Structure 1
Amino acid sequence: MKYGIAIFPTKAVQDEANSYRKRYDPHYALIPPHITLKEAFQVDDDDQLEELVTELKRIANETKPFKININKVSTFAPVTNTIYLKVEPIKELIELYEKMQSGKFPKNQEYAFVPHITIAQKLSHDEYSDVFGSLQMKNIQIEDEIDRFQLMYQLDNGSWTVHDSFVFGKEPV
């Protein structure tokens, strides 16, 4: 089964992202707005999954809640026509990401870590130019408190569901 690890921002941030995603992101119905900490990876046996869950509990317990800042719209162009809300790459977020790329976790990092929340993807070049041109002029100033991350798994229809949530600073069960 395919798994991934993500941070879901608060409802207010998700509502802001979804105001664009419902029009410009074909993955809108598959997963809520999120910051990816670990790209999709394959886990085929229960023992391996149990080891990863134990490791995620340990990481969450060692992590204190932190604030993120989102202050602009950016893009991955010319690599892809993806538009996103840029999350400032603070130390706590980078350290959390790095912990998910080592130890018992599969080594599947494809790109450098750019913390972001996707709001548009798979756009034609003309649509991308129009959308990015207008969104880039928006004044965005959002601060959000992050106190947990989620282990997700992918269903047969391509959508993602929460397997488990890991709250920061909480004793492992």
Structure 2
Amino acid sequence: MSKLKYGIAIFPSKEIQDVANSYRMRYDPRYNKIPPHITLKERFEASKEEINEIAEELNKIASEVQPFEIEINKVSSFSPVTNTVYLKVEPHDQLSLLNDKMNEGVFPESQQYAFVPHITISQDLSEDEHSDVYGSMRMLTFDLKDTVDRFQLLYQLEDGAWTVFETFKLGK
């Protein structure tokens, strides 16, 4: 029985996606594989049975968490770990709670790094390109706000693109 690759993410408002895409088009080679997003759970593999159990758990988690506001004010970088530049989502208890709940119980262990809410705008660049992009962008300020009221369970297609498997609305 083959397993698919899944991930869990929040897709922000069109306004925030447009801002992110204005950079991603130039600096992110995976731009066309997935829209701008905040990863709640990194990719993991699951069978059809496992994903049904996970989806049930996600329904429960979604019902226990109320919609909340996020804010983005600046870019940051994961350098030197990876040459990734991202829109920094300000820390929020609800985001951390969602991430925690998605890495316990029925969920497969897939978290490689500490949870840092972000929207990637450049990745897989050379050291020099990364320095240029981050150097020119880290002085920019943003005033982006959004209400998060849902998250998506995604799966990966054979061409590497991601598509929504199921959407979960927050709150009762």
Q: Do they superpose with TM above 0.5?
A: yes
Structure 1 residue 108 displacement after superposition? 1.5
Whether 2:130 is the aligned partner of 1:135: answer no
Please point out which of 73, 76, 80 is paired with 2:75. 73
The amino acid across from 2:44 in the alignment is: F
| Counterparts of 2:95 and 2:170, CA distance in 1 | 12
| Counterparts of 1:63 and 1:102, CA distance in 2 | 16
The amino acid across from 2:38 in the alignment is: I
CA shift digits 1:88-114 (9 cap, x unpaired): 111111001100001100011110001
| Counterparts of 1:64 and 1:157, CA distance in 2 | 35
Structure 1 residue 38 displacement after superposition? 0.6
Please point out which of 86, 100, 103 is paired with 2:88. 86
Whether 2:19 is the aligned partner of 1:16: answer yes
Q: Which residue of 1 aligns with 2:170?
A: 168
1:52-71 aligned within 5 A: 52-71=54-73
Whether 2:133 is the aligned partner of 1:107: answer no
Following TM superposition, where does structure 1 have runs of at least 4 consecutive aligned residues deviating by more than 6 angstroms? none
* 3-state secondary structure, aligned to 2:147: strand
Q: Which residue of 2 aligns with 1:157?
A: 159
Q: Which residue of 2 aligns with 1:35?
A: 38
Structure 1 residue 80 displacement after superposition? 1.1
| Counterparts of 1:139 and 1:40, CA distance in 2 | 30
| Counterparts of 1:27 and 1:80, CA distance in 2 | 15
Q: Which residue of 2 aligns with 1:51?
A: 53
Q: Which residue of 1 aligns with 2:99?
A: 97
* 3-state secondary structure, aligned to 2:167: strand
Q: Which residue of 1 aligns with 2:125?
A: 123
| Counterparts of 1:23 and 1:138, CA distance in 2 | 17
Cα RMSD after superposing both structures: 0.8
TM-score for both structures, normalised by structure 2: 0.96
Aligned residues: 169
* 3-state secondary structure, aligned to 1:137: coil
